[in-house]
């Protein structure tokens, strides 16, 4: 499955859903390192974008998406609809990032034409 067949929407233009395989998810729990905390504190002191934390968040989201896509493939899916993210601080310094959606099998409408 590639990123082209993932969407926050409920359909793919040019594709037909042939099978709904159910909800899939990818969960990642991340913590900041002591050095990361120090670096982020320095960036916070000067204001603006906190690139150390931005990078950590982006990596966690990408890993959670990869796990959700792998879960969809395990079920036989080739696409992921209704993609969503959620994040929860489960303890001080540790955050769960959840990516979820609906695994489906799609086929190109042009293939059937």
How does pLDDT run across 42-95, given as a tens digit for each residue? 655 666 666 666 777 889 999 999 999 999 999 999 999 999 999 998 888 788
| Per-residue pLDDT, 54 | 75
Q: How far separated are the first and last CA of the chain, in Å rounded?
A: 23
> Which domains, and CATH codes, for the chain?
3-31+63-112 (3.30.110.70)
% of the chain residues with pLDDT over 70: 76
Q: Which residues 6+ apart lie within 8 Å of 63 measured at CB?
A: 26, 28, 97
Please, are residues 21 and 76 in contact by the beta-carbon 8 Å criterion?
yes
For residue range 41-55, list pLDDT tens digits in order: 565 566 666 666 677
């Amino acid at each position: 499955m590639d990123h082209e067949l993932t969407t926050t929407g409920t359909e793919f233009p040019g594709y037909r859903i042939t099978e709904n395989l159910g909800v899939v998810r990818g969960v990642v729990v991340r913590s900041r390192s002591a050095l990361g905390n120090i670096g982020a504190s320095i960036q916070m002191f000067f204001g603006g974008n906190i690139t150390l934390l931005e990078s950590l968040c982006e990596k966690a989201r990408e890993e959670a998406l990869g796990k959700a896509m792998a879960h969809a493939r395990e079920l036989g899916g080739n696409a992921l609809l209704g993609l969503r993210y959620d994040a929860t601080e489960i303890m001080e310094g540790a955050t769960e990032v959840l990516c979820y959606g609906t695994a489906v099998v799609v086929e190109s409408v042009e293939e059937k034409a």
